Amino acid sequence: MTKLIIFTDLHMVPEGTTIIGIDPYQRLANGIAHVNRYHGDADRVIFTGDLAHHADRISYERLKTLVDQLSPPAAIMVGNHDRRDVFLDVFTDAVMDDDGFVQQVIDFGDCRAILLDTLFAPPYDYPKSHAGFLCQKRLAWLDRQLANAGDRPVLIFMHHPPHATGFAGMDMIRLVNEVEFYALARKHGNVRHIFAGHVHRTISGSSRGIPFSVFKSPVHQQPMPFDAPDASLSVDEPAAYGIAVVTRDGVLVHTEDYEIARRDAAFA
C-alpha cells in the first residue's frame, strides 16, 4: 500500500516575518517533525505549491533547510505564489519535464502519481496569474502520462483545483481551463483521485465522476463564508497535512491537524 503525505500552501517567508501573526517556518518545522515521528515509512512527501509567500530566494532557502530534514523522500511542485526560476535556482535537484515545467511522474507498485505544474506565469500579471492554467504542452504531456500508465490507477496532484469549490473569491482563480483538463482525466478512465491545494481549506467530493481532495495549509486558512469575494482572507486555524493511502480497493484520504492531534486516547 503506497502512503503519501501531502503538504500544500507553505507560504515561507524570511526570518522575522509572519503571516497574520503566524510563523510559517515554525508551523512547517512542527509538521515535518510530526511526519518523521509518525510517518517515516511514507513513500513520498508531496508539496503541492505556494512554497514561498513572495517567491524570494531567502524564503526558498529557508524552506530547503526544512525539506532536507525529512526522513521520507520529497517531491515538490509550484503554485501561483512561486517563481519557477527562483525556485529552480535553489532546489537544483527538482524534477522538470522536457519543456521546463516543474512536473513529473512517480510510479509506485500499485499506482502512478502525476504531479502537474499549473502556474499561470510568467508574465506575473496579478491577479490573472493567481489562476491556474495548463497550456497545450502541459496538456499533451498529461495525455501521454495517462496513456502509458498501464494497469496502474492514477493519482493527479495539482496546486489549483480544476473546478469550483464553493468559495467565490478562490473560485475566480481556480484552473481556468478545467474543461480541457477533465476531458483528458476522463478520456483514459484511469484517474482514481485528484489532489489539490490553493484554497487553504479541507474539501472533498467528486467532480465529473472523479473523487478529489483539497487540503488545508500549515499556516493560515480560508474562512468559511462561501460568498466572500476576496481571495486573500485568512484565519488562524490548526495547521494540517494530508495522508493518502492506496489500497487494493481504492484510495483512503485523511487530514492530520498535527499541532492539536493527540494519541493518548482514553476510553469513554
The pLDDT value given to residue 226: 85
Q: Comparing C-alpha atoms, which of 238, 227, 184 is closest to residue 208?
A: 184
**Cα(166)–Cα(13) distance, integer angstroms:** 29
Taking 80 as the threshold, does the pLDDT of residue 265 lie above it? Answer: no
N-term to C-term CA, the chain? 32
Of 18-22, 91-95, 223-227, give the lowest mean pLDDT range: 223-227
Taking 80 as the threshold, does the pLDDT of residue 266 lie above it? Answer: no
Cβ pair 168, 226 in contact under 8 A? yes
Residue 262's pLDDT band, with cuts at 50, 70 and 90, is confident
* pLDDT, tens only, 220-250: 999 888 887 887 889 999 999 999 999 999 9
Asked if the structure places residue 267 within a domain, the reply is no
Provide the grid cell at 110. 500499485
Cβ pair 56, 15 in contact under 8 A? no
The pLDDT value given to residue 267: 76
Asked if the structure places residue 32 within a domain, the reply is yes
Asked if the structure places residue 266 within a domain, the reply is no
Total domains present in the chain: 1
CA dihedral 201, 206, 207, 209 (to 10 degrees): 170
Q: Which residues pair with 58 in a beta bridge?
A: none
Q: What's the mean pLDDT in 31-49?
A: 98
To which residue does cell 481571495 refer?
A: 231
Q: Comparing C-alpha atoms, which of 198, 124, 199 is closest to residue 167?
A: 199
The pLDDT value given to residue 87: 98
Residue 154's pLDDT band, with cuts at 50, 70 and 90, is very high
- List helix spans (H) across 49-197: 57-67, 84-90, 136-147, 168-171, 178-187
**Cα(133)–Cα(146) distance, integer angstroms:** 18
* CATH code at position 212: 3.60.21.10
| Sign of the C-alpha dihedral computed for residues 174, 179, 180 and 185 taken in this order | positive
**Cα(234)–Cα(253) distance, integer angstroms:** 25
* pLDDT, tens only, 71-84: 999 999 999 999 99
For the chain, what is the mean pLDDT?
95
Provide the grid cell at 5. 503525505
Asked if the structure places residue 228 within a domain, the reply is yes
The pLDDT value given to residue 182: 98
Q: What is the pTM of this model?
A: 0.96
Taking 80 as the threshold, does the pLDDT of residue 52 lie above it? Answer: yes
Strands in the chain per DSSP E: 3-7, 44-48, 74-77, 104-107, 112-115, 154-157, 191-196, 203-207, 210-214, 241-246, 251-256
Of 11-20, 22-31, 85-94, 227-236, give the lowest mean pLDDT range: 227-236
The pLDDT value given to residue 227: 86
The residues, any chain, with a CB within 8 Å of residue 143's CB and separated by 6 or more, are 184, 187
Q: How far is CA 83 from the centre of its chain?
A: 16
* pLDDT, tens only, 126-149: 778 899 999 999 999 999 999 999
**Cα(150)–Cα(112) distance, integer angstroms:** 9
Q: Which domain holds residue 57?
A: 3-256
The pLDDT value given to residue 198: 97
Q: Which residues pair with 254 in a beta bridge?
A: 243
Cβ pair 116, 157 in contact under 8 A? yes
